Amino acid sequence: MGLETIDEVKKIEHQATQLERDYQEKLKDMQNDTQERINQLTEEAETEIRAFKEREQEKKDAKLQELKATYQQEQEKAINQLEANFERNKDQLVNAVIEEVMRKYGNS
């Protein structure tokens, strides 16, 4: 009975050692899987952040172009108005000069 008990104890010790190895291996696999998943999620998040930044930059660029176009239109309108005012005032000045010349020298 002593040898059977010793063999049984050795068998139990062997099973316990095997269980410990299996546990450690599964734990290591879980840690590796977890780290891989974290890496994957981090990469996905970084990709989403880059895509978001690119979309926001595109929106900003489009808005900037829109504002630039609006400003250019307003500027062109203001220039045209100034040119029209200049032409109108130039004609009035020329007419005033002609009238003054005619008044001074036309009646001689």
Q: From residue 64, how far is each of 52, 53, 70 by CA, in Å?
A: 18, 16, 10
pLDDT digit string, tens, across residues 64-100:
999 999 999 999 999 999 999 888 888 888 888 888 8
* H or E, element range at 87: helix 2-101
Is the CA virtual torsion 28, 29, 32, 37 positive or negative?
negative
pLDDT digit string, tens, across residues 12-49:
999 999 999 999 999 999 999 999 999 999 999 999 99
pLDDT of residue 96: 86
Residue 102 pLDDT > 90:
no
Q: Return the SS3 of 108.
A: coil
- Using alpha carbons, select from 62, 82, 81 the residue that is nearest to residue 70: 62
